[in-house]
Amino acid sequence: MGDIALRADHVSKVFGHSRVLDDVSFELRRGEVLCLAGENGCGKSTLIKILNGVHAPEAGAVFSFGDDTAIGHITPREARARGIHVIWQDLALFAHLSVAENIVFDDYVANPMRPLSYRAARQQAREVIERLGVQLDPDTRVEELSIARRQLVAIARVLRAGARIIFMDEPTASLTRNEVRTLLDLTRALSAQGISIVFVSHRLAEVLAVCQRVTVLRNGKLVGTYPTEGMTQARLSQLMTGQELNLVPRQTAPSGEPVLELRGLSRRGEFEDVSLTLNRGEILGLTGLLGAGRTELAHVVFGMTQPTAGEMRMHGKRLTLRSNRDAIRHGIAYVSEDRLNLGLVQSQSINMNTAVTVLGELEKPRGFLAPWRVRALTAEWIRRLGTKVSDAELAVSSLSGGNQQRVVIAKWLATKPEVLILDCPTVGVDIGAKAGIFEIIRQLADDGMAIILISDEAGEIWMNADRVIVLREGRVSQELTPADTTEESLEEIINA
């Protein structure tokens, strides 16, 4: 058992009436990167929480750690004592404290009466940062760092706390491509130091690039654990979904009259001189690396910020938006890329979160809100988007990450917008559901909606967009038609 860092046997978990994990077993070897893969809601995060003592499993579960005797339930403290740590998606850092203070924070918790001097903290932080082989200034306040660099701080913190097993739950969801590359390199370096890593991601290329083995779950059950060598994305997605995915590029239909026009639109420091026309019934792909100005442009079109030059027109008439409320009134909807703050009220029900954008409509004609109308609306969207919900009266926080994402999409589709902006709508969504979401998007376009699809996944854009606009450093660098190019060359253009 010497080379096994952690073994979990017969793990089951029930929430209310639903069994979300059913007799799952797997083992993690010392120094390996193991991926947990499976569709949204299959139980990955729940399994991680059980192994870290956040949730208790049902009776019968057995855990063993190296030569340590098997036990049935671990507390968070026991998990820590065994060197098990998680990098949570929100990173759980203290924004107003320095990098060094965050890194030594666990020490402070353990010995509140004898805090380290700042000098000692800085020295110890330097040592772990060096061990990580990254550039981080211990004196910078965390709030001044990018998400990617905050993540490094979180990793440094668990290393310094003596992590031997690190769980990373969708660590790449909000990173740019170069940042992803850095994180994957770092993950490999940690495993070379003998640390075992459990990695969760819906981007299958990443999974195959960084993991030695992959454990696949489907509907809370173990499908199996497989070596990634020789594994293809198609095979992995088939193991996850139990089906073969048959993806076909969109058959471009002739598009209708112009709905939205941007002319020389600029916002100082963000993007410059962007002109484009969005037609009825069209999916316009807007791509370029994160930071190219895509999201900033979307914010202006949705009225969240104001342009510093240029103009927008809708149906030929000049459009001035003072707020996103103005935008919604003009039939513009925006599904934000922000995965951590999806614009959901976590403590409210799935029903309320879905209906919130159309409450005014649902109250008509008599001005009171009939709960059945809310339920009917939500049920319809749950069905159309294939959201995994056991009871729509439950708080939205009870949904898995990818299913929360679907609630956000539903909430905006419910407004029946004329122009829909989707900002990386499928980050964190599993591969089967991605296909489902795009099917809906294509259908909406066929029914006349004008859609702007923002994404840096060349495949997604190539398969679904009628036209593509590439932004680079805030300017339109190219306009092209997927039919005239290949997915590979689009990929090159995005990365150029």
Q: What residues make contact with ligand ATP under the rule CB under 6 A? A: 15-16, 20, 38, 40-46, 388, 398-403, 430
CA atoms within 13 A on the CB side of 461: 32
Residue closer to ligand ATP (CB basis): 45 or 228: 45
Query: What SS3 class is residue 6?
Result: strand
Residue closer to Mg ion (CB basis): 40 or 464: 40
Shortest separation between residue 207's beta carbon and ligand ATP, angstroms: 13
Residue closer to Mg ion (CB basis): 401 or 425: 401
Task: Report yes or no: 155 and 186 within 8 Å, Cβ to Cβ.
Answer: yes
Q: Is the peptide bond before 115 cis (omega within 30 degrees of 0)?
A: no
Pairing between strand 467-472 and 271-279?
A: unpaired
**Angstrom distance (rounded) from CA 423 to CA 426:** 9
Shortest separation between residue 457's beta carbon and ligand ATP, angstroms: 17
Residue with tokens 């073994």: 7
CA atoms within 13 A on the CB side of 193: 16
Helix, strand, coil percentages (3-state) for the chain, rounded to 5, are 35, 25, 40
**Angstrom distance (rounded) from CA 279 to CA 343:** 28
**Residue 246 has what DSSP assignment?**
-
Shortest separation between residue 230's beta carbon and ligand ATP, angstroms: 25
Q: Which does 40 bind (CB under 5 to 8 A by kind): ligand ATP, Mg ion, none?
A: ligand ATP
Q: Which does 293 bind (CB under 5 to 8 A by kind): ligand ATP, Mg ion, none?
A: none
Q: Which does 403 bind (CB under 5 to 8 A by kind): ligand ATP, Mg ion, none?
A: ligand ATP
Note whether 38 binds Mg ion by CB under 5 A: no
Q: Which does 164 bind (CB under 5 to 8 A by kind): Mg ion, ligand ATP, none?
A: none
Residue closer to Mg ion (CB basis): 339 or 475: 339
Shortest separation between residue 42's beta carbon and Mg ion, angstroms: 9
Q: Which of 45, 196, 279, 387 binds Mg ion (CB under 5 A)?
A: 45
Q: Which does 398 bind (CB under 5 to 8 A by kind): Mg ion, ligand ATP, none?
A: ligand ATP
Task: Report yes or no: 199 and 34 within 8 Å, Cβ to Cβ.
Answer: yes
Stretch that binds Mg ion, among 37-45, 130-138, 232-240, 327-335 (CB under 5 A): 37-45
**Angstrom distance (rounded) from CA 428 to CA 135:** 28
Instruction: Identify residues 230-289 at the interface with Mg ion (CB under 5 A).
Output: none
Shortest separation between residue 74's beta carbon and ligand ATP, angstroms: 17
> Taking Cα atoms as reference points, which of 7, 51, 45, 3 lies closest to residue 27?
7
Residue closer to ligand ATP (CB basis): 250 or 388: 388
Q: Which does 388 bind (CB under 5 to 8 A by kind): ligand ATP, Mg ion, none?
A: ligand ATP
Phi-psi map region of 315: left, alpha, beta (phi>0 left; psi -120 to 50 alpha): left
DSSP string, 384-407: HHT---S-TTSBGGGS-HHHHHHH
Shortest separation between residue 88's beta carbon and ligand ATP, angstroms: 12
Q: Which of 401, 428, 432, 482 binds Mg ion (CB under 5 A)?
A: 401
Shortest separation between residue 43's beta carbon and ligand ATP, angstroms: 4
Name beta bridge partners: 411. Answer: none
Q: Which does 242 bind (CB under 5 to 8 A by kind): ligand ATP, Mg ion, none?
A: none
**Angstrom distance (rounded) from CA 445 to CA 388:** 25
Residues in contact with Mg ion by the rule CB under 5 A:
45, 401
